[in-house]
Every structure is written in C-alpha cells, then in structure tokens.
Structure 1
Amino acid sequence: MIRTLTGYATRNPWKVIALWAVLGIVLSALIPTLMSRVTQHRTADFLPRGYDSAAAQHLAEEKFGDDPDATALTVLVARADGGPLAAADREHIAAGARALSGRRVVMPVEDDMPRFLLPDRSQTPAVTPAATAPDRSFALLSVRLTGSPSDTGVQGVYRAFRDDARAHFAAAGLRTGFTGGLPELVDTTDDHEVATTVGGVLVTVLIILLNVLAFRSVLAAVLPLIAVALIGAVAAGAVAGAALLTGRRLDAGTPGLINVVLLGIGIDYLLFLLFRFREQLREKPAQPVREAAAQVSGRVGTAITSAALTIVAAFATLGLATFGQFRSMGPAIAVAVLVMLLGSLTLMPALLAAAGRAMFWPSRTLDRTPAAGRAARFGELVTRRPLLMLAASLALLAALAAGLTGIRMEYGRDASGSRTAAAATAAEISRVLPAGVSDPTSVYVTADDGGALAPARLDGLVRALAGVEGIGKTAPVVLSQDRGTARIDLHPTADPQSEKARDLVSGPLRDTVARHTPDGTRAHIGGTAAVFADIATAVDHDLRVVFPVAAALITLILLLLLRSLLAPVVLMLAVGLGFAATLGAAALLFQHVLGGTGVDFTLPLVLFLFVVALGTDYNILVADRIREEMRRPGGARAAVARALRHTTPAVATAGLVLAGSFATLAATPGSAQIAFAMTLGILLSALVLALVVVPALAALLGRALWWPLRPGPERGGRARRRTADRADGDDGSQGREEQKEWAAAPR
C-alpha cells in the first residue's frame, strides 16, 4: 500500500501536486466558516449529563431560558474623579444601559477579508443593571452577546460595543471597565498581538534558516512550508467535515493546536525524506531521479507511516475519555494526522520526483560524498562511551522529573496570573463585592413528582447555604415559569475560577445541599466553580484510562514495526522518562519558581500524547536506521555509529523545527505552559532520547536489542544478497559490493 502510493506519486508528480494545490487553496478559503460551525466555547458543554454541574446547566436552559450560545460579561461604571455615584449618575447609568441595549452593533470586517467568507455576528446586545457597590463607588451592568468568545467575529462585536460604551459614559464624566471571559480573552489577544505576529514570523524564519543550513538550497528551504500549508488546509477541512458529519463539537482551541501539530510533523516528515533523498543521490549519481525518489519514499514511508499511526493511535484513545473536550480533540487530531500522512506519501514524494536534483540547488554537495563531520564524531562519542552518555542523560531527566514532587492541577485561570485590564476590573469589583457577584454559583431544586414548588419550602436550604463559610451573599429564590424548578444564586467570596471556589463547591456547599434539600426534591449545583470541580473528577478518571491504553497501542505498533520484543520496551521506557522530565520541569517552573497555583489540568494528558507520540517519531527513525545498519557487516557499535551519522542531522533539524513551532504557542493567550512543556518535551525527545539514550542502549545491548529476530549479515550467498538488497535498494549493487568486502575481510 505504501509503495503503491509513493510509486504513483513519483510516476505522476505534476498531477499529484496539482490536486493538492487545488484542494489546499479552496479549503483554506472555507476554513474560517467551517470551523465556526463546529466549535463551542462553554466548558460545561463538554461534561456528560451525569455530572452535577451539567445537569444544572440543562435545567438553566430548559427552565430559565439560558441561551447556550450566550456570552456574558460585566461592565463596571464609576465616576472618573473617583467620587461616589450621585443620584444623577445612577440615572445616567440606567439610561445608558437602555440605550446600549437597543443599539445594534455591526461586526467589523478587515478590508482584506471578503465578508462572504465569515459568518455575520452583528447583533443587539442585552444590557441590564446588575448591582451597585454598597459604598456607591461603582455600578455594574450585565451584558449578553451571542456567540463563542473564540469567534473573531464575536470579538470584533465586543470591541465595537466596548468602544461605544466607553464613549457614551465618558461624555457624562464616567469611566468604564469590562470583565468576564470575553473581555479577558480580547485583552490578552490584543496585548499579545505583536508577539503573535513576531512569533509566526520567527518560526517561519527558523524553518527556512535550518533548512538552508542543512541543505544549502532554495527549494529545500521553501518547499516544506508550502507543502505543509497545502496539506494543513486539506486536513483542517477534513476535521471540520468529520465534525459536521458526526455532530461533534470541538473546543475553540483545538484548530490552533492542530495547525501547530501539522506544521511540526509535516516539516519533520519532509525533512526525513529530503535527507534520505540526498543520501541516495550521492551514493547513486547515475540513478534516475524519479526512481531514486520512489525508492527513498517507499523506504522512509514505512517509518513515517509507523510514526504517524503512533500519533493517530495515541490520540484516538481520547475517544474513551468522559470529558468531551478530550473526546473531541483526540479524533480531530487523529484525522488531521492521517491527512498529513497521506500528503507525506503522495505530495512530498511528488515534489522530490518533480524537483529532482534541483531540490538541492545551488549546493554542490551532491557531487561529492562529504567527509566525516560533527554527526559522525557525535556517533563515535556515543558508541565509544555509551555508559557515560546514558548515565549523564538519565541524570538530567531525573533532575527535571524531581519537579513532580507536590504537583497540583489548575482548572481555572492560568496559573501565572493575568495582568489585563479585564483582570484589574475583576479585582476592583472583588474589593467591594463578593468575587462571584458577576458569576454566581447557582443551586437548582426540582420536585421529584414534577409538581410546583413553594419558596417557603426552601427556607431551610436557603438559611443553610447562607451560613456556609465562603458564601458572601445569597439571592432570593427565583421560580421557573412553570414553578417546577427553583434557583438560588450564591455569590462566593472567592474568584469562581480559583481553587478555593472549586473546593468550596465540591466540599462544604455540596455537603450542605445534600443535608438540607427538602424531602421529595433533588438539587444540582451549577456555575463556573461547579463546572471546574466536575472537570477535575472527569480528568482524573480519563488520565487513569487513557494513559495505559495509549501506551499499549503505541507499544503494539512498535512491536509490529520493529519485530522485536525488547526494542519497543526500551523505546517506551525512554519516552516515559521524557514525559516525566518534561512535566516535572513545567511544574518546577510554573508552580514552584513562578509561584503559580499549579499546572494546567490539560497539560499531563496533552503532554503525554504529544511527547510520547511525537517523540516516538524520532525514536522510530533512529531505531529503524540502527536495525538497517546492523544488517550490514561489522560490529554492533559500528552500526550504531553509522546510523547516528546519517540520522543525527535529520533528527536534530526536525526536532528544532517542531520545538520552534510549539514555542510560538507562547504568544497564544493562556498557552504559556503548554508552549513551554511541549517545546522542552520535543527537544528532550529528539536531542536526548533519540540521539543519546536509545543509541547508547543499542550500543550496550548490541544485536540483542532486537531479540528474538536479531539483524546481522547472513552467511550464504543468496540469503546474504537478499538482506543487502533490502537494505540498499532494489538494484542491490551496493549490497553486492559490501558482500565482497565482507568476504575479503579477515575473520
């Protein structure tokens, strides 16, 4: 199957290139619209109905008309001179709320973006008075917009509304502040706008620079980016199409994560092909380029396929998760990687066949075999002192893994804190009112028989809730239109996204509700803090399920690829050490050094899948080449040294490119931890595990690493010739030359 695809692509390169170009260009124009239809922003929507907060949210929508697509924010209005609000100020604020609530906000569109490609998010916001501070230092307005905060159109509407509100109240000598999920995201995005642009430019320059240094070529520097961009557009379209067909919703951050993954692995796979293609052209200068491209693509395509299927298997296991954000993200990335694999076996070989030797122009390295360089010296160092190199690497990994001591998960705001204008407004509110006044925790009570509820029936529960330590205010009971459900809004003193609020809900609050809910009724607790408490439970469950299943599937793929029982165990132990070291380093930096409350709750699972799955790519490439070299005459350590000489440039370059692409996530709001951890994890996987730990173990274990099928030069002309032919190409010429050398060598 692999050789069929690569063979067709190298025989018909221009047809394949044209097909991918058309698909990529068309889908890249449709992606904004497609992705907006399959993403959702409310975290609670990813929880199964069986969780308490999810059941509460369902009641809020069904009984109280909460819009599942609504985005709430709070506007603080105060006097510009810092004085208390007078009666005239309060009247102006109320009139301003009415005026803003009746004014349609038109979504701004950039001049270079056709309007028909973007859904129109223009709308009339709902603005209502919410509360006034006891000291009359400010008043709060509640605002509801429709749409996901991650939707750029909704963000544009919010910016227009914010500017309008500021101008309206400033005319009366009043200042405004905005807080909530949408203002926080927009402020962070605006603050990082320059960094995001610079980061994108830097990763592009990094990829081009590394390719120029590796190949001294124009096409080899530019084609990887073009190829990955085309395949990435098709992959994004496939992900959106699959989501539409299956009815699954994606987390708003998933498309951006997919882009980074595809950029990294796509460049990796093309680099693997380019390095091997150049090696083939040097060894066989008279071979037709399309034949060389076919041989190289078929040979490297096996390793690429195994590496890609490893990633697919790892992320497909997220389909077993109970938390919907994981359950939708896993298959989405798996679909995207499968498309990238298809592109790696078709478009990339077609580019090699079409460009031929011009791929490496103007470099003249094809005309000569380069002398042993740094890669050869590095291979000799690892194989000459494998025990020392292994011990040093393990000491480094163990030191980083020590950061796991006392690690905690953070489910709310980014552990590093926020310094945006929205965060400052939230802090100003919390100094006077309970922190949860703009984001209450709600208790929903329904009768078991579906009958009507009387507010007096809930007096005991209300009094008990008001007495819970950490509840700053209890609102009066509100009944649904059919009087069958009651809602009690609570305003915790802690930030609803904080660990303190989450502990309050999962502990004292739920205990109080369980003890004081009237007989014949049932109660559910909803709100941000309750959602994060349930997410913590769901994630803990998913980690216990996904980790072992993903590890088992990856091990099975390695068993099939390497046809060995010991080698897969060695590789999985290596990537396990890399995972522990990376997560430990993230905890050490963000929790212990920077003083954060913990690491992001998604980090262990995402990091495990990325570092294990993507890191295994490099291990597969190196291990596969070591096995290939061990089929040739000579000792095991010499085979490892030859393998490192050939694979070190490819693995090091690919690792730096992938790490650089992940580093650009640091410019994305709230992604600093993931950016750091995945950048470090890829660097450790490529530069330490794949190039030091695995080769050192191979040098120490020798051909026993491949037990029970140990590779080696077979005695007997025909069998030996088949082995050499498989190792060196279809014509077998180089294999027969090595047979002569082996036969003449002293024994």
Structure 2
Amino acid sequence: MFRRVGRFAVHRPWLTIAGWIIAAVALAMLAPGLKSTTDETEFLPSHYESVQVGKLQEKAFPKTEQPAAIAVFQRTDGGKLTEADRRDVAKVAEGLDGKHREKIAKVVTNPQSVSPNGQIALANVIADTKNVNDEKLPDSVKQLREDTKELLKGTQLKAGFTGQAAQSLDARESSGDTDAMIMMATFVLIIVLLLVIFRSPLIAILPVVIIAVVSMVATGLIGTAAELGGLKADSSITAILIVVLFGVGTDYILFLLFRYREHLRAGQEPKEALVDAVAKVGETIASAAGAVIVAFLALLLSTMGMMRAMGPSLAISVGVTLVAALTLVPAVFSLLGRAAFWPSKAWRKQPKNRFANSIGNLVARRPAVIAVLSTAVLAVLAVGTLSFKAEFDTSSQMPQKLESVQAMTDLQRGFSAGQSGPAMVYLKSKDGSPLDKGALEPFRAKLAGIEGVGSAAPAVVSPDGAVAQYSVVLKYTPSAEKAIELAGGPLRDKAHAAAPGGTEALVGGTSAVLADIEDAVGHDYRLVFPVAGLAIMVILGLLLRSLVAPLYLMAAVALGFCATLGSTVWLFQDYKGENGLLFMLPVIVYLFVVAIGTDYNILMVARLREEVRRGVPAREAVRTAVAQSTPTISAAAIILAGTFGVLMLAENSMLQQMGFAVAFGILLTAFVMAMLLVPTVTSLLGHKAWWPGHQDAPREVPAAPVADTASQWTHGEQVRR
C-alpha cells in the first residue's frame, strides 16, 4: 500500500502539491476560527459540586455581580492609615468607579474595608459579568492601574491590584508572546540543524514551508470539527499545536529523508529512491503516527472537557501530518531530485558517523551491560516521582516582582489571604419552599467556626427565599493547597452536615473548583494512561507482528515517563525549593514524551525488524539498526527538545517546568531508551522478541559479517564501480 501511495505522489507531483495548496487556501479562508474558554467549570462534568453551585447561582441570583479584582491601598511609609488617607482611598475608588471601564460594574470601598491593624485598605472591583474569566476583564484592570496612578498623585498612598483578573493580566504579560517565541525557536532550530545535517539550504527551508502548509490544513480542519462538534479549545491549544505540528512533522520528514538519502547513496535514481523510501518507512511513520493519534484520542476518556477537546484537535493535526509525510513531502522532493541537496555533494558518500557507529558497536558487543546501566539510570531518576506534589497555586509560581503577587502579599498583612476569592456556600430548600430565616444565622456561625475559615458574611437570600448565599473567607489564598484541601474537604463535609432539615448545602468558589479539578485529574491519570498504553501496545503488536516486543517497549516507555517526571521533581521541588509542580505536568509529559517520544522507539525497532527479516544475526542487526537510526533520532530529538527548552528562558516557573520536563524527557527517550535500552533488550531476547510471528525467518543468506556500517557501504560502492 505504501509503495502505491509513494508511486502516485512521486510520479504525479504537481497534482499532489496542487491538491494540498487548494486545501490549505480553502480551509484558511472558509474554516471557522478556534474557540476558546478559560472557565474551568465549563470543563467539569455536571456531577461535580462546584458545577452544581454555578448552575444554582445562575438560577437563584441571575443578576449577581462577581468580584474581578481588588485594589490594595497602603501608605508609602508603611505606617497606619490616617483619616485623611481613608478619605483619599474613598476618593480614588469613586474616581475609578466613574471611569466606567468595559465589563466593570463598579469599584467600591467602605469603612469595613480597612484592616484591623489599620495598615491596609481595600477597594473591590466588581464585574458586570458572571464570567470572571472574561477575556476583556484583564484589559480593564490594566486601564484601572493606569487610572489609579493618576488619582493617587498628591496623596501619601500607593496601591496595587490583585485578584483573579489582575493575576490573569500579569500571567499573560509575564509569559510574553509564548506562541511567537515557540514558533521562532522552532524555525531557527529546524533550519539550522537541517542545514548542518544536509548542508543544503533547500532541505533546511523546505520542511518549514511544508509544515506551514500542513498547519493551515490542520488548523482549518480542527476549526471545522470544533464548529460542527461543538468542541472548545483551551487557550493554550495554539502553542501546543505549533509544537505538535512542527515537532512531529519534522520527525516524519527526517525519517523519510534519511532513508531517501540512504537509497541514493546505494546508487538508485531519485524517483526510484523516493518510492522505495516511502515503501520502507511508510509503515514505520504510519505506526508512529497511529500511536500518537490513539494516545491523544485517549483523552476523550478524560473527565475534564479541556482534555477531551484537546485530544481530537491534536489527533487531527498528527493525522494531517502523516498524510503530508507520505504524499506532499515525496512530491516536493520528486520535483527537485538530486538538486535538493545542492550545493553539497556530501550525500554521494557515506559519512564516517563515528558517534553512530560507536554506539552501534557498543550496543552489539555489550548488550547486557548497556541494558543494566541504562535501566539503572532511568530507575534512579524515576525515584523522584515518589515525591511529586501537585501545585494548583499558579500565583506562587509567577515572578514575585509582578504587581498582583506583591499586592497579594500586602493584602495578607492586614486581611485573610482568602479575601481575594472567598468560598461561596449555598443553602437551598429541597422542595423549593422559603428557607426558615431563623436557621440562617446559626448555619453561618457553624461555617465561621470551621478551622481555617477567617470569616463568614451574613446570608444573602434569593428573591424567592429558597436559596441563601454565604461568602466565606478562608485564611489561605484561594489556589493554595491548604485552601483547596479545606474547601474540598472539611468545609464541604461540615457544611453538608450542618444544613438544617429539609435543606441542602453546596460549596463553590475558586478553591472548590480547584478541588474538583484535582479529583478529576486523579481520575484521568488512573484511566487515560492505561488505556492509551494498551492502545499503543496494540499498534506496536500489529507493526512488529509480535506479542513480546510491545511488552518491553511499553515497560521502557513507562520507565522513561517516571524518569522524566522524577528528574523534574528533583530539579524544581528539591533543588530549587518550590512547593510543587504544575498539576497538569504529568499530562504534558504524557502528551509529548510518551506519545511523541514513542516515535523513536518505533523507528528503532522497525529498523531492527527489517534487518532481522533480511536474515542478519540478531546482534549484527542491532548494530546496523542503531548505527543507521542514530543520526535520524538524534536530529529529530534535538529539534523537538530544543523547541521546548526555549520555555526555560521564561520567568514563569510553570513554563520553566514544562520546558525542562519535555526537553529532558525527549532526550532521555531518544538517547537512553531508543538508542540503548530498547536495542539491547531486543538483542538479548533474540528470536524470542518476535514471538509468535515468523517474520524474522531469513529471506536471504547473509553475506559475510562486515566490520561496520561505513565499510559495508564502501564495499557496495566498489562493486558498483
């Protein structure tokens, strides 16, 4: 099948290229754009309590305004606020309220907004939308910051804004244009590395152009699927798509080009060499893509809508990349022929590849030693996984110099840290009848008496009297671990138990939402990962016609996953002293290290299988496969790892963690797992690795063993001459 596909693309290049260009232009013009949402409650199923709270609030308090940010005032000398200072605070709040910024309903303060120690005063910025994640709110807060500077002139005060909208603004601005940074880094890495490898400007630039066309098609298809299927893409999907498209796309193009060059060196004509390259690596590329696609589609089993939306989007992008690798890439290089390598003539002769040959010889001669050492390295790194601690407090991982972080620190000098995002407790009548007003205050008192609760405001009753709303301020910042544990545990348990007869209590708010997300993420880890692993094993079994090889390949992948996560724990938690790692980090490692990194294992094992089927003895097959595959795997891994490594330059600790984990994980997968562990285990198992299939039966009597890959090529070249 792959030979037929390759023959069509190679012998009808203009038709193939025209089809891709028409599809790219049509989808770019006609396909709807990607939708996005940052409201985490939209990503949780309806059975979670925080989601039920959102629906109850919308029904019982349809006009309820939401706090968006908090202005924190203090004297410039750090002393107690005077009566004149308090009047200035009220005047500034009134001035901000008069600005009528978009999505801002009002800016209010009152005498009770002064801290007990008299050092801090607050003004609440209230949004006129129930969606506190509205994309326009951070922009309005940015304008209020500038307004405040003008209004504070002539006073003894200074102010800073914190709260959800202010933190969103600072997070966005501190991370900079991440998409552009990733795109530029990817372009530079791909172009420079391909230029070094092939010494041809055409080959250095063409993959970027090809993947750009693929990106247009993939994005258009994702937008169309999202429109027709009602999917919503998370705000980070664009950056992830860039990495997937360029990372996976470069991998597949390199798989094909290296084999194409190998056939040219063997004396084949360009078109024949391209068709043979597609025929030889087509199954490998398809299997690698299939493994990545099923891994992404496994996210459909996720509890969180964010993951369910991301899965199909990434799967579509990989599917489009696969089709392009088998059609568009051969068509383009069919038109160029040998001119693609201009001006270099290095493609005509076999390079010495001392590193690749050394690795191949070492793996073949000392398989047991290399297998034990590589396993030990991964196992030692994996120990750090036992200390993994999920961190939901995103503000703690932001640069401390940011205004929202400093303002939160100032707020905590006078008030409970939870003032910026109180938990919302609702008491509702089960039969819809009015609540007993005499029971409302005792219930509030019980809430206020819970350990970790700073205060509980008096009940606000709905117009029909069937629902009461309590604003409960915790002693911890809303996204801190203690706040999440309190809202999802003792606060909920005691609120449920304290509800008067005939009523039901529900707990919502930021901390409660994060508690539900934490529960959902734990569920996903227990379900999605095993299902994805099983699906990848099935694909490996079909590719290799073996039941044994997929078992140790997936065991190696699992060990690589743990080693990656453990290394990140040791660096950021133990060495840098951070409270924990981004709670989504295991999913990110799964997406890019396990799913995409499996490509390298597949490439290596597929080459091993190819050599074995030629009748080459097991260890000789391992040596040849490693020597031939190492340049391809090295180049692909360095490009992908480098793309993510750029994120380590960001000031945001979350981006640093993501960048290190994926970059280091890809390098581990390529240089330890694919080049060392997998081939040595295969060598030690010998024919058992391919059980129960018989595809390893010799098809031809092998020639006398040769010393190394370079001498093997030289012998063939002399024969042709």
Question: What TM-score results when the alignment is normalised by the length of structure 2?
Answer: 0.90
Tell me, yes or no, if the aligned pair for 1:659 and 1:678 is still in contact at 8 Å: yes
Tell me, yes or no, if the aligned pair for 1:415 and 1:598 is still in contact at 8 Å: no
Classify the secondary structure of the residue corresponding to 2:473. Answer: strand
Tell me, yes or no, if the aligned pair for 1:652 and 1:687 is still in contact at 8 Å: yes
Classify the secondary structure of the residue corresponding to 2:596. Answer: helix
Letter in 2 for 1:269: Y
1:502 and 2:501 matched: no
Partners of 1:234 and 1:172 in 2: CA distance: 57
Classify the secondary structure of the residue corresponding to 2:597. Answer: helix
Letter in 2 for 1:77: F
Distance 1:414 1:3, change over 3 A: farther
Tell me, yes or no, if the aligned pair for 2:43 and 2:305 is still in contact at 8 Å: yes
Give the Å deviation of 1:282: 1.3
1:404 and 2:385 matched: yes
Show the counterpart of 2:361.
Answer: 380
Mapping for residues 538-617 of structure 1, pairs under 5 Å:
538-617=520-599
Tell me, yes or no, if the aligned pair for 2:441 and 2:458 is still in contact at 8 Å: no
Partners of 1:18 and 1:423 in 2: CA distance: 53
Give the Å deviation of 1:457: 2.0
Show the counterpart of 1:220.
Answer: 203
Letter in 1 for 2:315: A
Which stretch shows the higher mean deviation, 319-328 or 467-476? 319-328
Give the Å deviation of 1:80: 4.2
Classify the secondary structure of the residue corresponding to 1:495. Answer: coil
Distance 1:606 1:282, change over 3 A: same
Partners of 1:10 and 1:150 in 2: CA distance: 50
Classify the secondary structure of the residue corresponding to 1:523. Answer: strand
1:72 and 2:68 matched: yes
Distance 1:698 1:92, change over 3 A: same
- Aligned equivalent of 1:480, options 437, 455, 462: 462
Give the Å deviation of 1:403: 0.6
Classify the secondary structure of the residue corresponding to 1:595. Answer: coil
Distance 1:192 1:532, change over 3 A: closer
Q: Deviations over 1:586-629 (max 9, x none)?
A: 22222222222222222223323432221211111111111111
- Aligned equivalent of 1:40, options 5, 27, 37: 37
Give structure 1 stretches of 5+ with no counterpart.
106-122, 725-733, 742-747
Tell me, yes or no, if the aligned pair for 2:75 and 2:81 is still in contact at 8 Å: yes
Show the counterpart of 1:745.
Answer: none
Mapping for residues 39-438 of structure 1, pairs under 5 Å:
39-65=36-62, 72-80=68-76, 82=78, 84-87=80-83, 89-103=85-99, 123-130=102-109, 131-134=113-116, 135=118, 137-144=120-127, 155-170=138-153, 174-193=157-176, 201-285=184-268, 287=269, 289-371=270-352, 373-413=354-394, 416=397, 418-419=399-400, 420-438=402-420
The number of aligned residues is 701
Give the Å deviation of 1:21: 4.1
Give the Å deviation of 1:198: 6.1
Tell me, yes or no, if the aligned pair for 2:568 and 2:660 is still in contact at 8 Å: yes
Distance 1:246 1:198, change over 3 A: closer
1:700 and 2:700 matched: no
Classify the secondary structure of the residue corresponding to 2:152. Answer: helix
Partners of 1:171 and 1:204 in 2: CA distance: 51
Show the counterpart of 1:117.
Answer: none
Tell me, yes or no, if the aligned pair for 1:27 and 1:234 is still in contact at 8 Å: yes
Which stretch shows the higher mean deviation, 515-524 or 87-96? 87-96
Tell me, yes or no, if the aligned pair for 1:415 and 1:591 is still in contact at 8 Å: no
Tell me, yes or no, if the aligned pair for 2:545 and 2:695 is still in contact at 8 Å: no
Which stretch shows the higher mean deviation, 613-622 or 235-244? 235-244
Distance 1:423 1:355, change over 3 A: same
Give the Å deviation of 1:163: 2.1
Tell me, yes or no, if the aligned pair for 1:443 and 1:526 is still in contact at 8 Å: yes
Distance 1:347 1:169, change over 3 A: farther
Which stretch shows the higher mean deviation, 147-156 or 391-400? 147-156
Give the Å deviation of 1:633: 4.1
Q: Deviations over 1:524-562 (max 9, x none)?
A: 100111111111222222211112211111111111111
Classify the secondary structure of the residue corresponding to 1:452. Answer: coil
Partners of 1:150 and 1:272 in 2: CA distance: 43
- Aligned equivalent of 1:691, options 669, 675, 678: 675
Tell me, yes or no, if the aligned pair for 1:307 and 1:617 is still in contact at 8 Å: yes
Q: Deviations over 1:414-473 (max 9, x none)?
A: 664641221111111011011111210010111011112243222221111111111111
Q: Deviations over 1:621-654 (max 9, x none)?
A: 1111111111224322111111122111000100
Q: Deviations over 1:363-394 (max 9, x none)?
A: 10233333463312221111111111112111
- Aligned equivalent of 1:709, options 679, 693, 701: 693
Letter in 2 for 1:527: G
Letter in 1 for 2:8: Y
Letter in 2 for 1:236: T
Partners of 1:350 and 1:94 in 2: CA distance: 70
Partners of 2:86 and 2:56 in 1: CA distance: 34
Give the Å deviation of 1:520: 0.3
Letter in 1 for 2:617: G
Tell me, yes or no, if the aligned pair for 2:120 and 2:411 is still in contact at 8 Å: no
Tell me, yes or no, if the aligned pair for 1:200 and 1:664 is still in contact at 8 Å: no
Letter in 2 for 1:216: R
Give the Å deviation of 1:400: 0.2
Show the counterpart of 1:16.
Answer: 16
Partners of 1:210 and 1:364 in 2: CA distance: 18
Partners of 1:511 and 1:149 in 2: CA distance: 27
Tell me, yes or no, if the aligned pair for 1:441 and 1:526 is still in contact at 8 Å: yes
Q: Deviations over 1:305-346 (max 9, x none)?
A: 111111111121111121222222222221222222222222
Show the counterpart of 1:744.
Answer: none
Distance 1:238 1:211, change over 3 A: same
Classify the secondary structure of the residue corresponding to 1:50. Answer: coil
Partners of 2:440 and 2:135 in 1: CA distance: 43
Classify the secondary structure of the residue corresponding to 2:337. Answer: helix
Partners of 1:148 and 1:14 in 2: CA distance: 51
Give the Å deviation of 1:263: 1.7
Partners of 2:149 and 2:16 in 1: CA distance: 55
Give the Å deviation of 1:8: 3.2
Give the Å deviation of 1:146: 6.0
Classify the secondary structure of the residue corresponding to 1:170. Answer: coil
Show the counterpart of 1:729.
Answer: none
Tell me, yes or no, if the aligned pair for 1:98 and 1:127 is still in contact at 8 Å: no
Classify the secondary structure of the residue corresponding to 1:621. Answer: helix
Tell me, yes or no, if the aligned pair for 1:477 and 1:486 is still in contact at 8 Å: yes
Distance 1:693 1:463, change over 3 A: same
1:675 and 2:656 matched: no
Tell me, yes or no, if the aligned pair for 2:78 and 2:119 is still in contact at 8 Å: no
